[in-house]
């Protein structure tokens, strides 16, 4: 354990036991579970260490057996627009914050993987489904939303005996936005959903896109990456999305053939990760600290993941501390926010592996007359394909 390991342990406990959303990291030093001075908070994030691999294995080992191996993948930006002294910042898309009138912020970007209730990796548009399929299709199912103007191809017809010339790589052209180019669907499903009404799902198997020798595929042979194109049509949309399209296009790849109903419902469950982002940011204060380096941000991110996991595992072990206008919930169905309200009492019974501080006297601080000079500035990195 690093010299600041005890402070990191108590920092997680303080974040879990604090009343209400976390608005200030130094304020966590006021929690009884944090027995050190307020200066230890940021020093622990700057000088401490988190064994990522051991923590990852620990999270996997304590995953309940009844949780299916289903994951949603999405990215979220930690904006540091004005932190010119922070290195490795980049420009990333942000739906809630704009810069110069554009939905772009400068900061650090994190990829989150959250477990759902369906067996595949589910991704929104913005990811490269073909690259993911090329790398993972043999070991996992990939389900990714694609644009409605994507173009795919069937395999070419067999060559005739004695035919000369270079063998064809692509067969019939299929443009998602042009129904005239669509061949007969290989599979079709019609179901009724309470929210979406009549749902029609169609799939075309063994299709592939036409790759070009640039970006990821530059300087290498262009592979044929096959998968299934899935079209989902619904009769109606929920009230918050009255003007959204009623047609959804998905790309699927995996070691078998897709279960159409599973794919349709799995993509709907993908939006659960948005609730995880909201809780991590607004309640656990994931992007609250004004940290300088990406290493410090990584440590705090792992602590937030550990705290969130403890709330999930503590469901059913804490008392439901509900507000007067809230209804009672089954202990096994408590939300992370409800679990956090009762975590303080559970923490008192569990104790902590952290050792008590050796001294409660603050350090001498920076010697008088010390001049550090201006800090180095780092421009935000603009990434290009």
Residue-level pLDDT, tens digit, the chain, 385 residues: 467 889 999 999 999 999 889 999 899 999 999 998 888 888 899 999 998 899 888 888 877 777 667 788 899 999 998 899 999 999 998 878 877 788 889 999 999 988 776 768 899 888 889 988 988 877 788 999 999 999 999 999 888 887 788 888 899 999 999 999 999 999 999 999 888 899 999 999 999 999 887 777 776 678 899 999 999 999 888 776 555 668 999 999 988 889 999 998 888 888 888 899 999 999 999 999 999 999 999 999 999 999 999 998 898 899 888 888 888 888 888 999 999 999 999 999 988 888 888 776 666 777 888 887 888 999 888 765 4
- How many angstroms separate the most distant Cα atoms in the chain? 90
DSSP letter assigned to residue 105: E
**HSE (CB half, 13 Å, CA atoms) of 341?**
9
Report the 10 Å Cβ neighbour count for 156.
12
Distance between CA atoms of 302 and 48, rounded to whole angstroms? 12
**HSE (CB half, 13 Å, CA atoms) of 137?**
22
| Contact of 230 with 203, CB cutoff 8 Å | yes
| Contact of 9 with 353, CB cutoff 8 Å | yes
Single out the residue of 359, 347, 360, 357 nearest to residue 15, CA to CA: 347
- Cβ partners under 8 Å of residue 225, min gap 6: 130, 133, 134, 137, 208, 209, 211, 253
- Cβ partners under 8 Å of residue 12, min gap 6: 303, 306, 307, 310
Distance between CA atoms of 206 and 257, rounded to whole angstroms? 10
Single out the residue of 228, 276, 27, 7 nearest to residue 120, CA to CA: 228
Two tokens, residue 208: 């592939």
């Amino acid at each position: 354990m690093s010299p600041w390991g005890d402070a990191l342990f108590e920092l997680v406990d303080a974040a879990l036991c604090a009343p209400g959303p976390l608005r200030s990291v130094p304020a966590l030093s006021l929690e009884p579970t944090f027995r050190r001075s307020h200066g230890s908070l940021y020093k622990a994030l700057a000088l401490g260490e988190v064994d990522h691999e051991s923590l990852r294995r620990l999270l996997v080992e304590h995953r309940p057996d009844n949780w299916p191996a289903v994951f949603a993948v999405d990215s979220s930006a930690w904006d540091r627009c004005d932190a010119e002294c922070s290195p490795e910042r980049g420009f990333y898309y942000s739906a809630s914050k704009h810069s110069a009138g554009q939905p772009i912020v400068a900061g650090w970007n994190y990829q989150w993987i959250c477990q759902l209730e369906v067996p595949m990796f589910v991704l929104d548009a913005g990811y490269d489904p073909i690259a993911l399929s090329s790398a993972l299709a043999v070991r996992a199912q990939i389900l990714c939303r694609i644009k409605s103007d994507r173009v795919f191809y069937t395999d070419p017809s067999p060559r005739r005996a004695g035919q000369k010339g270079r063998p064809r790589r692509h067969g019939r052209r299929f443009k998602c936005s042009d129904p005239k180019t669509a061949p007969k669907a290989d599979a079709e499903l019609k179901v009724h959903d309470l929210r979406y009404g009549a749902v029609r799902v169609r799939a075309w198997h063994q299709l592939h896109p036409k790759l070009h020798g640039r970006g990821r595929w530059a300087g290498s042979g262009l592979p044929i990456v096959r998968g299934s194109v899935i079209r989902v049509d619904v009769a109606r949309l929920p009230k918050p999305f009255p003007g959204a399209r009623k047609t959804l296009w998905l790309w699927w790849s995996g070691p078998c053939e897709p279960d159409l109903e599973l794919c349709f419902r799995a993509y709907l469950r993908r939006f659960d990760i948005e609730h995880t982002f909201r809780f991590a940011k607004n309640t656990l204060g994931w992007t609250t600290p004004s940290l300088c380096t990406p290493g410090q941000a990584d440590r705090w991110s792992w602590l937030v993941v550990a705290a969130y996991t403890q709330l999930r595992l503590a469901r059913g072990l804490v008392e439901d501390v509900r507000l007067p206008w809230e209804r009672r919930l089954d202990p096994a169905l408590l939300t992370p926010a409800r679990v956090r309200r009762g975590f303080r009492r559970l923490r008192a019974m569990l104790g902590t592996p952290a050792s008590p501080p050796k001294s409660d006297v603050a350090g001498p601080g920076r010697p008088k007359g010390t001049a550090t000079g201006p800090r180095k500035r780092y421009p935000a990195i603009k990434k290009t394909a």
